Amino acid sequence: MKKRTLGSSGLEVGVLGMGCWQYGGGSYWGEQNQQDVDAVVHRALDMGVNYFDTAEVYNDGASELSLGISLKGRRHEAIIGSKISTSNTQSSVLRQHCEASLKRLQTDYIDIYMLHWPISPLSVKHFTQDEALIANPPQVQEVFESLRELQKEGKIRHIGISNHGVQQMKEVQATGVEVVANEMAYNLLSRAIEESVLPYCIESRIGVIGYMPLLQGLLTGKYARIDELRPMQARSRHFHHSRGEGTRHGEEGAEAEINQALGDIRKLADELGTHPIVLSLAWAVANEAVCTTIVGSRNIAQLDLNVQGATYELTSGAIDRLNEITQPVWEKLGSNPDYYESRLNSRIY
């Protein structure tokens, strides 16, 4: 497993990381057997996968609990990233929530503790119904000073952010707190960060953690057309606003372009004699500006296939072809990387 340095942190992370949202089971991904989690985590560590990504909101803390159980005896081999919800960032509340995450993870420290979404009324609204908090969220300076205090105490090693655009990264940097990572959606059909976020992160030595590399299953080869997706998986701007369950963006989507791209990706995978999952992950990993790409693995078979994607060497010609195939989707969706809100009312700027 190749490794890359995560921004200015000095941490060496495997180019394939483990997304832990499904751990603990829940309504979104369904039940998840703890024995399977244990087996996957231990095999992943053996194969060089050392970054494990979770959040307090994933299955109401059950993801952190499950990961903590599975890392017993091997915590020292893992780099753990967890995230604080934007609604829990008032100074005293943030501390309580960080300590709760530490307890669930059964660890004395979190390697990378990230702000899950930027500080704004729209972001806070996603996590709470507290109208007063939505109207008056904490100031960015206050939030990052609180994080720095936790860092000084050794409860977190490094501070990170997630889903932040260029202007928002500048606002965070103005606090004087060193941020080592920004976690952003990145896959063949979600390439918005290539325009400005990736270049700015490179310039600022902020490591990029790519998430959703298989677009909630759409790039696994399991679905011939997007009509086969569950409504819960079709809430993003990729799809018409009438399709998804609880959709907020109100946009028309890029369904014709995506259906065309899916067919062309499948053809290229067949030509190369590989699986669409391997092809999709290999493309994401090939971008050296992305330090690690996180993907969920519910069992050993899925993990082995995902690791193939991290070790599969794409030719420059194949990368160019995939970029060409997916360019119409990028052009239709635009360059705002918030795929769940309208481009005119985005949490990312």
Asked whether 271 and 255 are in contact (CB, 8 A), the reply is: no
> How does pLDDT run across 304-343, given as a tens digit for each residue?
999 999 999 999 999 999 999 999 999 999 999 999 999 9
How many separate domains does the chain show?
1
Answer whether residue 287 is part of any domain: yes
CB 43 within 8 A of CB 303: yes
- Nearest 5°: the CA angle 259, 262, 318 is 140
In a domain, 82, yes or no: yes
Give the pLDDT confidence score for residue 58 in this predicted structure: 97
pLDDT at 30: 84
Residue 15, domain member (yes or no):
yes
**Range of 65's domain?**
3-215+283-314
pLDDT of 225:
83
**In which band, very low, low, confident or very high, does the pLDDT at 29 lie, cut at 50, 70 and 90?**
confident
**Is residue 224 very low, low, confident or very high in pLDDT (cuts 50, 70, 90)?**
confident
Lowest mean pLDDT among 65-69, 224-228, 281-285: 224-228
pTM above threshold 0.75? yes
Q: Establish if 200 belongs to a structural domain.
A: yes
Q: Indicate whether 250 belongs to any domain.
A: no
CA distance readout (Å), 300 to 46, 53, 256? 12, 18, 34
CATH number of domain containing 85: 3.20.20.100
Residue 142 CB coordination number (10 Å)? 16
**Distances in Å between the alpha carbon of 71 and those of 38, 48, 51, 301?**
8, 14, 12, 20
For 240-264, what is each residue's pLDDT tens digit? 999 988 899 999 999 999 999 999 9
Tell me, yes or no, whether 309 lies in a domain: yes
Q: Is residue 241 part of a domain?
A: no
81: pLDDT strictly greater than 90: yes
